[in-house]
Amino acid sequence: MAARKLVIATRASRLALWQAEHVQARLVALYPGIEVELLKLSTRGDEILDRSLAKVGGKGLFIKELENALLDGRADLAVHSLKDVPVDIAAPFELSTVLARADCRDAFVSNAYATLSELPAGAVVGTSSLRREAQLRARYPLLKIEPLRGNLDTRLGKLDSGQYAAIILAAAGLERLELGHRIRMRMSVADSLPAAGQGALGIEILRTRADLLELLAPLACPRTTVCALAERAVSRALGGSCQVPLAAYAEVSGVTVSIRALVATPDGTTIYRAQGTGPSEQAEVIGQRVAQELIDLGAGAILESLAVSP
């Protein structure tokens, strides 16, 4: 392959940089003749910290500036945490590559308590996710759930300053920044079903950049890609956004994919759950089927109340 240069667009947070540097290192190892640079950008999602994502425009706030860099030619590809990539990504953009998933679970982090069950009534728990909040409220209705925004270091700093008794974070992010020792408990997927794509990285390119598809192909993980297709199909069918307490988690065994999903009211008083299994090549169809089952159970009323149309 002829020597050339690639530019990766990335958010400037420490975790986002780890993710971009991970892809950078993989590409350099695969193609020693290619120079790979990072373009570090600040996004609206990083800058607005006093309001929840649901109130300021959703997860797309984390990728807009990166997409602009793809459009104007400053970057060739963008690296994202897959759970931050909207499911309705459309032309001229394409989610070209899904990398192997790390630990997809949520992590309980606290300086004073070892488990959620140890928290006293009224203890303040921080989370930025309606999905986590609804599942927490369902299991521990006496806890006080408060918003938690900012990058990973900022969130841990707020915990350490005493603003929260505990916080809930993605285990993968903590591990990637060598902060796994802060995890007091990894929450089972049964107790806290993950977000679609949680723990995986995705690469976004322009659809016109067919030249990048072959180059990026060795980075893709087939199993994680199947899971992502099923999970994102659920979210897409339900109009998934951070305005909806929605979770979707798939697993692959042999040639079979199994998926569990839920939709909840923000207060956790109502949770609808559904699951499905089938051939991996039908991952998206199975995800759509599970989404329809949730709607049939009553999730449509929740979506309507939150002004989201499936």
Which tens digit of pLDDT belongs to each residue from 246-267? 999 999 999 999 999 999 999 9
Q: Does pLDDT of 1 surpass 60? A: no
Enter the DSSP assignment of 100. P
pTM of the predicted protein model: 0.90
Identify each DSSP E strand in the chain by its residue range.
4-11, 34-41, 77-81, 93-98, 106-109, 124-127, 144-147, 166-170, 183-186, 201-206, 246-253, 256-264, 271-279
Out of 46, 84, 103, 106, which one is annotated catalytic? 84
Based on the residue annotation, tell me whether 84 is a catalytic residue of this protein.
Answer: yes
Superfamily of chain region 221-310: Porphobilinogen deaminase, C-terminal domain (3.30.160.40)
Q: What is the pLDDT of residue 244?
A: 87
Q: What is the pLDDT of residue 44?
A: 60
Specify the fold of 106-186.
Answer: D-Maltodextrin-Binding Protein; domain 2 (3.40.190)
Q: Which helix (H) or strand (E) holds 53?
A: helix 53-56
Higher pLDDT residue, 1 or 228? 228
Name the pLDDT band for 3 (thresholds 50, 70, 90).
very low
- Residue extents of the structural domains in the chain: 1-99+200-220, 106-186, 221-310
Q: What is the pLDDT of residue 60?
A: 60
Higher pLDDT residue, 49 or 13? 13
Gap between the Cα atoms of 104 and 227, Å rounded: 12
Which tokens is 247 given? Answer: 């979770």
Q: What is the mean pLDDT of residues 150-165?
A: 96
* Residues 183-202: tens digit of each pLDDT: 999 999 999 999 999 999 99
CATH number for 1-99+200-220 (one of 3.50.50.60, 3.40.190.10, 3.40.50.300, 3.10.20.30): it is: 3.40.190.10
* Residue owning tokens 């190892």: 29
Q: Does pLDDT of 182 surpass 80? A: yes
**What value does the CA radius of gyration of the chain take, rounded to a whole number of Å?**
19
Q: Do domains 1-99+200-220 and 221-310 have the same CATH topology?
A: no
Q: Is residue 83 exposed (0-12), middle (13-18) or buried (19+ Cβ within 10 Å)?
A: buried
Q: Does pLDDT of 61 surpass 60? A: yes
